[in-house]
Structure 1
């Protein structure tokens, strides 16, 4: 008989009281068959857990051995064992980077090679401790602990690795390059913005120190081209009322209501209302 498990489900059912029917929630239990046990996944999980335990044991063993070696020349024992911890952590970190690159064999090459180099240094340090202690054979056996841990993790990672075919790998590389370009442009734009702000601040400081810049000279032809309204503004001869200012502007060829309003506020009343200027403007334009 296949194995089953009980699952609680719910459904809406009609329920009537005094002739009024409502849909209510009805909870019930149902037995569903269990899928067959995935022994492959269980074995792989167990092997990965065993590799993790072996890695921790290797760190402890190497740290104790190399720390004892460094303690011979380092006055502070804690510093010696802290430095000894680095030896195994380096190659284990390289293994972690190799795991992250398990879908890209080309990127996994560098951390794999760096891990082997770090492992060789760690094993050499452990063996040197045994040789200095007069037990070279024991030192070699002790160094083999880190080597076995590395071999175990290499086998596990190789089993987890899922290499991509050539076309899929090229597609992934293109997408990664596109995303990397967008990410790089964020930093580049931030750098350009800082540079432009620095240039603007420098120009403002120099302009304030040396007086008005040539760009601000209204007599220059470039300034007149950029501000055509200034050429149309008639010269003021003295205090004006709003009506006089409107008549002067119209007689000078200024017909745009906004330009007339700006002229009135410039020569007559800085607080002139737009409605008042429009009223005088209609009066001036009205045929006699």
Structure 2
């Protein structure tokens, strides 16, 4: 753990030197949602490959850079692209950037993703506030020795997603004459999309949406004492609900359609945080 702590400090020192301030709000932008980074003022961009000990994003739709600056008068830093277990990374590597964000001052984080709708009522283009999650990945980033300087051995996950920030998001949505869905996200390992039987299982277990990310980052964020808001963009109805094939291209097309709504809502939330 001493080695990890040193790696966190080295990466954080590099990022701080490049951006010149300590942000309080962090964002992790999922597939196709990186457009939010284009709205940052006084922008500083840091490619992942230049940051000590950072993994490299390999998935289409994930740019692979930290983008820092100001939005609505708030100092923010965004991960434009994330890492996934299915890329071959370990859970600690996938969540390492969250440790770095915490080290440079981030205490509130918005985590976004593209997800398949398991709930029968969900439609393509819906935005779902994540009220809770199910870790169906078979991995947990906290497995192994615990460093008490990073967090407690047994972190409480009973309120992994901040009820205060969920209420704030609903208030912003009401102001914009829009309603969020609110539900449970199931994180699966991937990279295959779920079978119809797996989707039925997810629904029986209480999931409303399924995806291949988010859970490791949120576990580490809570371990580090960060306040978390999660938003899923429903990009397709999950397998078995409709007789259709699924593809990454379809996911990217759906996020294109939802971008204006997504931008307005997230900007409003940042302004109120």
TM over 0.5: no
Report which structure shows greater RCO (CA 8 Å, sep ≥6): 2
| Structure with higher helix content | 1
| Bigger radius of gyration among the two | 1
Question: TM-score, normalising length from structure 2?
Answer: 0.20
TM-score normalised by structure 1 residue count: 0.19
Whichever structure has more strand as a proportion of its residues is 2
